[in-house]
Amino acid sequence: MNFQQKVVLISGATGGIGAAITRRVAQEQCKLALVGRREDQLEALTRELQQQQRECVYKTCDVKKKQDIEETVAFIAQQYGSIDVAILTQGILVPNPIETFDTAIIKETMDVNFFGIVYFTEYLFKVMKRQKSGTIAAVSTLPDKRGVPGWGAYGASKAALSWFLESLRAEAKLKYNINVITIKPGSVQTPMIKDLPRRGAIPAETAADIIVRGMKREKKVIQFPFQQVTIVRLVDLLPPATYDHLPMDRQKGEGYPIVEEK
Ligand SMILES: NC(=O)c1ccc[n+]([C@@H]2O[C@H](COP(=O)([O-])OP(=O)(O)OC[C@H]3O[C@@H](n4cnc5c(N)ncnc54)[C@H](OP(=O)(O)O)[C@@H]3O)[C@@H](O)[C@H]2O)c1
């Protein structure tokens, strides 16, 4: 796949991975459309790219609101006349300790991490089906197959997302020439995990480079870094009785909040 002169929508462009992808993809001479809620950051990044003679627009959008997404896709399609590639990176990671189990955390996480992508897909499909071409790449997570203590909200949203994307991939390609790509990062140094240090976390710029190279090679699933992929996929094979004996604190990870029952 070639990014040159393509219209590329990036959601979560204000985030660690999204901003790094934006700067990396800008080197490919494409036309950029940045999406997120924090307007000051969208504006600053847009100005930075325009100063480098890149074509770039931005649109504020809260992905919890379906109408925001509809308006965002319409705005970008109107600005540029097409949307060739969408790299959807928005996400939240909120611990939900069992002592204070809170359904609202699960609902909000599903709204942002899962339904935010589902809504984008609905409106992007309308544009891309008309074009008979396009690429939708969305960021799930590497450990998307087994439940992790404390991280049920996040894990459920990402497992649903991986399943959703895979269920679309073959048919979207066959019928409409639309590529659907699932991005599955291991730990990446970004604001999302700044209070949750992870051994082996890679810089966001490295992650962005792997993602863009994977997309250019038309990979269907981009999972990285290699060492974490090996460990996670081996752990996936453990039978439930063995899996349940993995040390819980290690699975929750450093920085996981310790709370008292309310
Ligand atoms: N960092 C990691 O180790 C890691 C590992 C695996 C997967 N991931 C995934 O990678 C993606 C990017 O994460 P990151 O690490 O770059 O996190 P981050 O720095 O916290 O960025 C999160 C992004 O999501 C956007 N966002 C959150 N809620 C939103 C909403 N309601 N509407 C619109 N945008 C919203 C934020 O933008 P605004 O606040 O401006 O709206 C921000 O741009 C996420 O999907 C995350 O789950 C991260």
- 208 CA distance to ligand 1 centroid (A)? 14
Average pLDDT over every residue of 89-102: 97
pLDDT, position 262: 75
pTM of this structure: 0.98
- What's the alpha-carbon Rg for the chain, to the nearest Å? 18
Average pLDDT over every residue of 193-214: 96
Tell me the per-residue pLDDT of 30-81, one tens digit each, with 9 for 90 and over: 999 999 999 999 999 999 999 999 999 999 999 999 999 999 999 999 999 9
pLDDT, position 68: 98
**Ligand 1, closest atom to CA 113?**
45
**What superfamily would CATH give domain 7-252?**
NAD(P)-binding Rossmann-like Domain (3.40.50.720)
pLDDT, position 261: 87
- Mean pLDDT, the chain, integer: 97
Q: Given a cut of 80, is residue 22 above it in pLDDT?
A: yes
Q: pLDDT band at 239, cuts 50/70/90?
A: very high
Other C-beta atoms closer than 10 Å to the C-beta of 140 total 26
Taking CA atoms only, the protein residue closest to ligand 1 atom 21 is: 15
- 11 CA distance to ligand 1 centroid (A)? 9
**Ligand 1, closest atom to CA 13?**
43
Q: Is 63 in the pocket of ligand 1 (CB under 6 A)?
A: yes
Tell me the per-residue pLDDT of 133-167, one tens digit each, with 9 for 90 and over: 999 999 999 999 999 999 999 999 999 999 999 99
- 242 CA distance to ligand 1 centroid (A)? 32
> Could you state, in order of their start, the residue ranges of all structural domains in the chain?
7-252
Q: Is 17 in the pocket of ligand 1 (CB under 6 A)?
A: yes
Strand, coil or helix: what is 187? coil
Q: How far is CA 68 from the centre of its chain?
A: 18
Q: Exposed/middle/buried for 152, CB within 10 Å: 0-12, 13-18, 19+? A: middle
Q: Is 139 in the pocket of ligand 1 (CB under 6 A)?
A: yes
pLDDT, position 83: 98
Handedness of CA 145, 211, 179, 73 (dihedral sign): positive
